[in-house]
Amino acid sequence: MVPFVVMLVVLLVCRGLGALGLSIFATWQLATAVALAVMFLFTATSHFAPMKEDLIKMVPHGLPYPRQVVLVTGVLEILGAIGLLLPATRIAASSAWEESHAALDAPADAVNLDCASAVDGVDDPLISAELSNLNPC
């Protein structure tokens, strides 16, 4: 939720600056590209901070070298953010993000859902997900 709020605030600030006459933010497309880039940079920091240990736990067990997977995906997020800021690479960067999400994030999401459903005695999936983070399966 926090990354979404960061993106939304940056988007509104960029559009506000565009309304004040800063031409680079005069269109929604450019303001959105900047907002997404900031969000990716924001989320990439977790791949290199103490929170990376939690991200490592989310890597599906079938993937080798989970620590390296987390570090590589952090670097890819940074490169994607840079790519979104460059007009020549914007479309390629967004396409690459879509493919990497399908290949790496979706399997991790499935593992987390399995962990959440394995928590006994809790019917609420949101609470189960939180508990599974405390006690990963």
pLDDT tens digits, 23-71: 989 899 999 999 999 999 999 999 999 999 999 988 888 888 999 999 9
| From 1-5, 18-22, 33-37, 102-106, the region with the lowest mean pLDDT | 102-106
Residue-range domain boundaries for the chain: 2-134
pLDDT of residue 123: 56
Question: d(Cα 84, Cα 34) in Å, to the nearest integer?
Answer: 7
* 110 Cβ neighbours under 8 A, 6+ residues apart: 60
| pTM (2 d.p.) | 0.70
Q: What is the predicted pLDDT for the residue at 126?
A: 56
In 3D, which of 110, 118, 117, 134 has the Cα closest to residue 61? 110
3-state secondary structure 59-93: CCCCCCCHHHHHHHHHHHHHHHHHHHHCCCCHHHH
